[in-house]
Amino acid sequence: MICIIIFYFRYKSLTPLVNLCWTTKSDLNIEEFLKDHGSVALKRYTFSEVKKMTNSFKVKLGQGGFGAVYKGKLPTGCPVAVKLLNVSKRNGEEFINEVASISRTSHVNIVTLQGFCLEGRRKALIYEFMANGSLDKLIYNSGPESIASLSWENLYQISIGIARGLEYLHRGCNTRILHFDIKPHNILLDENFCPKISDFGLAKLCPRKESIISLSDTRGTMGYVAPEMCNRHFGGVSHKSDVYSYGMMLLEMVGGRKNINAEASHTSEIYFPYLVYRRLEEDNNVRPDQVMTIEENEIVRRMTIVGLWCIQTFPNDRPTMSGVVEMLEGNINSLEMPPKPLFSSPARSVSCSFSGI
Which contacts (CB < 8 Å, 24+ apart) does range 137-143 have? 138/189, 139/184, 139/252, 139/253, 139/256, 140/252, 140/256, 140/257, 140/258, 141/256, 141/257
181 part of the active site: yes
- Cβ–Cβ < 8 Å for 127, 112: yes
- Cβ–Cβ < 8 Å for 81, 72: yes
How do strand 43-45 and strand 113-119 relate by DSSP bridges? parallel
Q: Which amino acid is at 102?
A: I
Proportion of the chain in helix, strand, coil states, percent, rounded to 5 = 45, 15, 40
Active-site residue, selected from the candidate residues 181, 242, 283, 317:
181
- Cβ–Cβ < 8 Å for 301, 284: yes
**Which residues lie across from 213 on neighbouring strands?**
237
**Which residues lie across from 44 on neighbouring strands?**
116
Q: List the Cα angle 127/104/217 in 5-degree steps.
A: 85
Q: Which letter, b or e, does each residue of 158-168 get, where b requires 16 or more Cβ atoms within 10 Å of its Cβ?
A: bbbbbbbbbbb
- How far lies 10's CA from each of 17, 21, 62, in Å? 11, 17, 43
Catalytic residues, by residue number, are 181
